[in-house]
Structure 1
């Protein structure tokens, strides 16, 4: 789901006291404050490698995006408190173990420490992210029911999306020059196409006996399709010259174009409508939350 607030790259710690004075607040959402120190730390994590080449306009746009993200995060976390939601240590552990897969111990710890300062702080960020997910799930849960009538109506209105075009499965041999291609074509009169392909073809599909798999019009170079879609099953094509070399084709199978039945695609349609409803519900909730909240952004400090 394309909800920027749901997958925050950075989040802010609780305000920390300093010897002389607390850092100034740059974003205020209700009774929550985000300090300049916290904002800069969040911004640091968002900046890509080579940030020295990040243009002034790009930096301004990034800051605006981050402000929006942090405001929305604050509103969602305020809703979490209103609903009495929390995240258990076990839930955090499950997420941590899933994220650690594929990393070596020291390599993982070093990467986390470089980005978050410590593993414990990273776990705090995970807890925050999981809490945000819970809130969003709660906000949209009553809005994503999809009836069969809705799904069928969508199917009828978007029927072209559920038409499968004619497909062909073909094998190909490609060689570097015409003389070799002519010799190969003669061999195909008495030898198996796939065996010759494995021996002489310079294409990456050679190891599979030249098998290109199934494809529709528009998925292969035009020179291929002009020949293959007119070729009868089991027949060997003429030699076709392209910028890639000299090609010979044989059609293995054909599938006629067809319309997918509603029963075959209903799950896919329901999932799509659910996503659209969920996005719409969250956008509407966030708009109302922003309207009701006191939000102040001190742009001159950013």
Structure 2
């Protein structure tokens, strides 16, 4: 009997058993299935070679095929560590240790533990969604016509005009405007902090005043900023330059400071074709996944007692994951795109 200190934690065991339930293979299973499905033979190997038992742990057989599949699932960097016979023995020992621990966990009935069952369900859902959608929809299935139609409908995302950003001090009379303009163009107005202080002290425009005078980014054809201010803003050369007083079409006076500039964005269809392809692929995959789940729900016999929800109590002070280390079940995802 293993000592308690050798048994993995509940969370680790849950993940371990989920994998064990998916990968466990007994000698009886092999006989009934006529061999374990898996990777194909590599050069110099036969199918008989792949079905050769490497080790048996309480009736669970580890074949050359399974051993090879498990190694080849690793990254190229990890695989490179297991090319020598000694390193292969080390990997086999890890598989044996895995089966020994999994076997002990089964003997203790932990395959029925709620935490393990939840984790096993999550693994099965991931496998289901992978099998269902991995090859159902591919990026290359998106047609040129679909991509061009999307580009035409979203031209504003790929073609944007030049924009400028300024902060403004707005005053009502010319005398105050002259005074503030001198301060803004002097030592105090050189820093953004100093300019914001002038905004707070002198500006009468409440909407921009709460933002330190920021008028945000705007293009030449904007209707959100006074036309006289727009013309002056686009006439400023460098970030930090100050202009004014500017008499606006609304009769007020503006002192502005350039705080940002964006060049015009023009992207052709060919430049964004791959980006659009991936976006449409993700949208189609998500829609197909949604439809699949809706169809399953329609077939399932589901009863809901909404009144019982009032009996649920949520402990907002508990650590993340709750007392058993599990949060709400995650929504299943289809395989990620390329």
TM-score (norm 1): 0.42
TM-score (norm 2): 0.38
Considering only CA atoms, is the larger Rg found in Structure 1 or Structure 2?
A: 2
Bigger relative contact order, structure 1 or 2, given CA contacts below 8 A and separation 6+?
1
